[in-house]
Each structure stands twice: as C-alpha cells, then as structure tokens.
Copies of this chain bind each other. A is one copy, B any other.
Amino acid sequence: MCDYRYFFPINVSYSDIDAQGHVNNTRYGTYIESARLAYLQHLGLWDGEDFQQLGVIVADVHITYRLPLFYGQQIEVGARVSHIGSKSLKFEFIIRDAESKAICATGETINVGFDYTKEVSTPISTHWRNIIGEFEGQPFS
C-alpha cells in the first residue's frame, strides 16, 4: 500500500452523499476514475482535452469498501499500474483520508487499449509501456 507514486486530491462534495448520509458506493468509482485520468495526464499519455484520444476503455472495476466517506472530507486517491498485458492495463487504487491516511477503500480496474474514433480495441503501445515502467520504477516489457 505504501508505494503509490501518484495521488489525486479530492474534496468530498454534497452531491456525492446519498440517502444513507455517506458517500454513495458508485461515487468511489468516480474518484478512482478521476485519479486514473489524472495519472495518465501526469505521465503525458493523455492531454486532458480530446476524449477520443484517451486510448483506453474500462473493462472491469472492483472496489472494496473499508470506511465510509463523509461530506467535506479531504481524501487522496492513489493510482498505479501494476500490470500491462498485450491489450490491457491493470490499475490499482487506494482511497485514503488526506490527514489520517486511513485507507477507506481499495480498487482495481482493467483498462483495455481502445481507439474511440474507430471503436476497436488496440494493443498497449511500447511508448506507454516505457513511460509507465519508468514512472513506476518497474519494467513492463
């Protein structure tokens, strides 16, 4: 859990709270989505502007909930790539309290290479492998 190199800060919004008074489980999904996109931007793999050039599509999401999140809470979402296959990446996430660092949730997503203009899946390029491998300090050859 300790070796996330990228964290994305989020301030929990009222619009994330559901009828039970906590952040809705599906909003955790938007938090890890925000972190994943910001990670790709941080590494220069997406410009944050052209949604057709995002390069990957979500194939699988798995989130484990440990602690409720509350309105106004400052959290930070750790994101990293733990595996790169021929056509997909595996991302891992933690959501933790920004102050106490208590882990509130963990998650994984599988993201498949995807060309949104042609609507076809694509291999993960050598360029992505190199950039991500360098950032994570781990070869993805």
CA distance A20 to B37 in the complex (A): 13
CA distance A30 to B14 in the complex (A): 8
Residue A19 is within 8 A (CB to CB) of chain B in the complex: yes
Residue A43 is within 8 A (CB to CB) of chain B in the complex: no
How many monomers of this protein are in the complex? 4
Interface residue ranges of A1-39 to B (CB < 8 Å): 13-15, 17-21, 24-27, 29-30, 33-34, 37
Q: Which of A56-64, A87-95, A123-131, A132-140 contacts B (4 or more CB under 8 A)?
A: A56-64
Neighbouring B residues of A60 by C-beta, 8 Å: 62-65
Interface residue ranges of A33-58 to B (CB < 8 Å): 33-34, 37, 41, 48-49, 51, 54, 57-58
Neighbouring B residues of A72 by C-beta, 8 Å: 41, 48
